[in-house]
Amino acid sequence: MVLFQQHSISPDQAKELEPGTPQWRATGGYVARSLAGIWSTAPFLHNGSVPTVYDLLQPAAKRPVRFPVGHREFDPKKLGFILDAPNPDFMLDTTIQGNGNEGHEFGVNLPEESELDLLEYLKSL
Ligand code: HEM
């Protein structure tokens, strides 16, 4: 609605452009980047606080708290960094201020099978 107002689009024109009730709204603040090639860009979220896409589809409380970064070991099932890389150079600790892995709890209540289907789809982007 805010965008329509900003661009002087009347309520009637807005209905034509977007019939029905919108399911999702942009936050108006932070624009998410395209998910094309997402399989290759771990770790995830703006602060790199989630090691795999699979973990991003879990509630924040279940996401890995510490994980190794700075290596090239890829987990093709969960789409991201493996969690048990040998001799990691650096462990990312999500309990440190600024490293939090909360938020983006979308798709976290999907049945496991649907999560895996979604992962397969994301691999194709
Ligand atoms: C099941 C549905 C969704 C999936 C599979 C999904 C997937 C993803 C992935 C993989 C990222 C990480 C991108 C990266 O780190 O480069 C991401 C980030 C993001 N997504 Fe989603 N998303 C979903 C739903 C949504 C919805 C509904 C919204 C908005 C209402 C949204 C907004 C965002 C934003 C703002 C970010 C950036 C967050 C950050 O960088 O901290 N997503 N999404």
**Domain presence at residue 70:** yes
Domain membership of residue 94 (yes or no) is yes
pTM summary value: 0.80
- Note down the domain range covering 59: 33-123
pLDDT greater than 90 at residue 82: yes
Is any atom of ligand 1 closer than 6 Å to the C-beta of 107? yes
Residue 10, domain member (yes or no): no
> What element of type H or E holds 91?
strand 90-93
Share the mean pLDDT of the chain.
89
Q: How confident is the model at residue 98 (pLDDT cuts 50, 70, 90)?
A: very high
N-term to C-term CA, the chain: 30
Q: Is residue 96 part of a domain?
A: yes
Residue 73 lies in a domain: yes
Please state, in angstroms and rounded to a whole number, the distance separating the CA atoms of residues 46 and 30: 10
How far is the C-alpha of 30 from the C-alpha of 47, rounded, in Å?
Answer: 13
Q: Domain for residue 44, yes or no? A: yes
Number of domains in the chain: 1
**81 within some domain:** yes
From residue 93, alpha-carbon distances to 49, 56, 66, 96, 108 in Å are 8, 16, 5, 6, 22
CA of 32 to the centre of ligand 1 (A): 6
Ligand 1: which residue has its CA nearest to atom 24? Answer: 106
